[in-house]
Chain A
Amino acid sequence: MTGGFSSAMESLERAGGNPGQYCRPFLDVFPVTGASVATVGALLGSETIAASDHLAARLDELQFDLGEGPCWDALVTGAAVLEPDLRDHQRRSWPAFRTAIAQDDVRAIFAFPLAVGPLRMGAVDLYSAQPVRLDRTQTRQADAMAAIVGRHVLRSALATVDRESEPSSTAYSRRLVHQATGMVLAQLGITPDDALLVIEGRAFAESRSVMDVARDILSGLLDFAPTDEGIGDAG
């Protein structure tokens, strides 16, 4: 399956801003029936971006309406959510969601966070008509694939931002943004591209200019480094 995984990673990288291509690679690699990509939460709002079938889309819609489900848990915890058998009565999470899907052909459900650094914006949901377990390798692979989708989703959202509110960037301000990018990549241990995306995403989330956020980072007012209180709480 390693070959399947690396070609799935490549397909996702190539998918860029085309949501139509986000689900297929997950179905190629994992023993699941359907996949969907949804944004939830404050950053980008609740929206299904891609779904491989109607049931996958319905599972997302239900979670938006009910405000609970694996997708929300993935958003809140920033970690994979694994439910290999929904009829395992030991589990008590998501009572309303479980009741709502009792008649649907869904036995297992999984969610992997869409995130770039500390910015979390949704989840990739996978479901299976049969009970199924994903082992640790599969879980790690799905996380890595969801991370690629997360970058695409954030980039696409930022591309639609009305840049008129942004003060025109000068060479000097770009220099400060590069310096802030360096601080953020060191804080989070990520690439310069991702670090810039984190800065732009934060600016977007707070309706501020990228330059403003960069200044806060350089002055130490905003620090993305993980702390005991949580991630990126400052600012």
Chain B
Amino acid sequence: MNDITRESRLLETFVTLADTLVDDYDVVDLLQLLVDTCKELLDVSEAAILLADTAGVLDVIASTSESSRLVELVQLSAEAGPCVESFRTGRPVSVPDVRDVPAEWSTFRDSAVRAGFGSVHAVPLRLRDTIIGSLNLLRRGSSGLAPEDAAASKAFADIATIGILHERSMRETTILAEQLQIALNSRIVVEQAKGVVAYTRGVSIDEAFELIRAYARSHRVGISQVAARLVDRSLDLPD
């Protein structure tokens, strides 16, 4: 992708995202769109967004792959690694070479090397003084993120934050906690729905997610809404 194409694609994406934020939107859809866009437009292999629950524990809410390899790795990074570091400090954490990390991140490092990742970039999701999670970009090669990609990732993180929090509800911290809980709960229902589809259709958990997304897309409804209907059994995905 040349620079002009890339710039116009980025612009296009931001317009789409801004449009989304005006309507009633599904937060799972929005975050999924964000990570997929990161993978498509930035020089990264995988992307994942994590949100903190009320106890401050970070949980994956959207990722470019549902494979346990990626999800487990990002969770490790959320326990001791760049992900939790960016969440704690509120600053982007760039790890150009995963082999080159502090000793206390060794579990994350080993897992990243095994999974074939060379570098990681973690951007906090923050609004003013409040940090609610982290956007994580993983690359196969070991070199830092290009400056323009780092800048774009910051913009993606901001959109994710606004999408989750709804600017106008930001005045009260109780509402903040509620908004976060709603986002996290909708992810729980998506996980349950993956189980339902995996069982009823006899497919893997990853394939189940793809089927749910495809149905949501073709019927123009949110992933969360499709998931809720799968879980209360009022919807069966057609063959």
Contact = CB atoms under 8 A, between A and B. Distances in A.
Contacts of A187: 199
A171 B59 contact: yes
Contacts of A218: 195, 198, 205
A182 B191 contact: yes
Given A178-B192, A192-B192, A186 B199 contact: yes
A161 B75 CA distance: 27
A175 B196 contact: no
B75 A180 contact: no
A36 interface: no
Interface string A179-192: 11111111101001
Given A170-B79, A171-B59, A171-B60, A182 B192 contact: yes
B33 interface: no
Contact of A182 (B57, B59, B78, B198): B198
Interface in A155-196: 170-172, 174-175, 178-187, 189, 192
Interface residues of A, number: 18
A183 B195 contact: yes
A165 to B, nearest CB: 21
A182 B75 contact: no
A183 B75 contact: no
Contacts of A178: 188, 191-192, 195
Interface string B222-237: 0000000011010000
B200 interface: yes
A185 B230 CA distance: 10
B191 A186 contact: no
A182 B194 contact: yes
B58 A171 contact: yes
9 contacts: A170-B79, A172-B71, A174-B59, A175-B59, A175-B191, A182-B196, A185-B192, A192-B192, A192-B231
